[in-house]
Amino acid sequence: MKRNIFTAMILTITTGTTAQEKGRYAEVNGLNMYYEIHGSGSPLVLLHGGGSTIDSNYGRIIPLLAKAYKVIAIELQAHGHTADRSQPLSFEQDADDVTALLKKISIPKAHIMGFSNGGTTAMQVAIRHPEMVDKLILASAIYSREGMFPGFFDYMKGAKFDDMPKPLKDAYLKANPGNTKGLITMFQRDVERMVNFKDINEELVKSIKAPTLIINGDKEAVQSGHALKLSQLIPNARLLMIPSGHGDYIGEICAPVTDALMYERVVGMIGNHLN
Residues 6+ apart with CB under 8 A from 37: 22, 24, 70, 71, 72, 73
- The domain in which residue 160 lies consists of 2-274
Amino acid making up residue 208 = I
CATH at 86: 3.40.50.1820
Amino acid making up residue 106 = S
pLDDT score of 258:
79
Q: What dihedral angle (degrees, nearest 10) is formed by the CA atoms of 102, 104, 109, 111? A: -20
Query: What does the pLDDT look like over 100-119, one tens digit per residue?
Result: 999 999 999 999 999 999 99
Q: For residue 137, give the H/E element and its range.
A: strand 133-139
* Residue 87 to residue 189: CA distance in whole angstroms: 9
Give strand pairing partners of 239.
Answer: 214
The pLDDT of residue 20 is above 60 = no
Lowest mean pLDDT across 13-17, 167-171, 185-189, 219-223: 13-17
First to last CA, the chain: 29
Main-chain phi, psi angles of 189, to 5 degrees: -60, -45
User: What pTM was computed for the model?
Assistant: 0.92
Q: How many C-beta atoms surround the C-beta of residue 150 within 10 A?
A: 9
Q: How many C-beta atoms surround the C-beta of residue 14 within 10 A?
A: 9
Residues 6+ apart with CB under 8 A from 250: 57, 58, 60, 61, 115, 139, 263, 266
Based on the structure, what is the number of domains in the chain?
A: 1
Write down the mean pLDDT value for the chain.
92
* Residue 133 to residue 227: CA distance in whole angstroms: 21
* Residue 76 to residue 97: CA distance in whole angstroms: 8
The pLDDT of residue 158 is above 50 = yes
Query: What does the pLDDT look like over 59-100, one tens digit per residue?
Result: 999 999 999 999 999 999 999 999 999 999 999 999 999 999
Query: What does the pLDDT look like over 219-251, one tens digit per residue?
Result: 999 999 999 999 999 999 999 999 999 999 999
